[in-house]
Amino acid sequence: MFFRGFLILQFMSFLTMESSERHPAENSAGCLEDRRRSELLRKSLHFLIAFAPTIAIFNKNFTLVLLASGTIAYGLMEFLRQRGINIPLVSKLTVAASRRRDMGRFVLGPVTLGLGAFLPLLLYPLPAASIAVYALAFGDGTASLAGKFFGRIRPRFLFGKSLEGSITCFFGTFLSVWLYTIISGNGNIKIVLAAACAALITELIPLRDWDNVIIPMAVGGVVSFF
């Protein structure tokens, strides 16, 4: 179980930093294309966190143990990598997934991603926790892809993020939560709008990796009132 949890979180390690960050050496067309391919892979794997609520329907405690064990396993192996002890496959994946500004330091993204699913499932009722994780998976995930591929408008008040990405965050959350409420037999449009607005507002804050935690916690907290 510990190892399975680790594998899931390690695959999710491709989600590391906000797409809006720029490194001075990444301005050429070739580097831009490489970043886009890398972002597409990271976010495609990032969407896997959306399976957590489905697993939790059958066994919530198992899901919590799976997420916790995977997060701890990754943290230990990344700690070893920082000290020159490379773990076969794991360290190579971590280096390949990390951005240039992560080089030489602990890659935090997989840890915050695991926490972003673990904490809502631990603290909120399952419906609110599910909505929170879907906001993390599809709201934050699609926002990053939109910003990377289509982001052109970057007003100062967005702190380097794109308007296109922020709008996509709203609609990515809206659609995923709306589908969840329809499938679950609720269909409350107020919950859907509240979740999408909470995700949008939180996504605007420059939190770097910690948006993986703050976005689902904020969304889960808001929809818990309904």
pLDDT for 105-118, tens place per residue? 888 888 999 999 99
Position 28 scores a pLDDT of 57
Which region among 15-29, 30-44, 77-91, 109-123 has the lowest average model confidence (pLDDT)? Answer: 15-29
Which residues, in sequence order, are CB contacts of 140 under 8 Å at separation 6+? 46, 169, 172, 199, 203, 211, 212, 215
* 137-173: pLDDT as tens digits: 999 999 988 887 887 888 877 777 889 999 999 999 9
* 68-84: pLDDT as tens digits: 999 999 999 999 988 98
Query: Which residue ranges make up each domain of the chain?
Result: 2-223
Per cent of the chain over pLDDT 70 is 81
Position 7 scores a pLDDT of 45
Position 97 scores a pLDDT of 63
* Mean pLDDT for the chain overall: 83
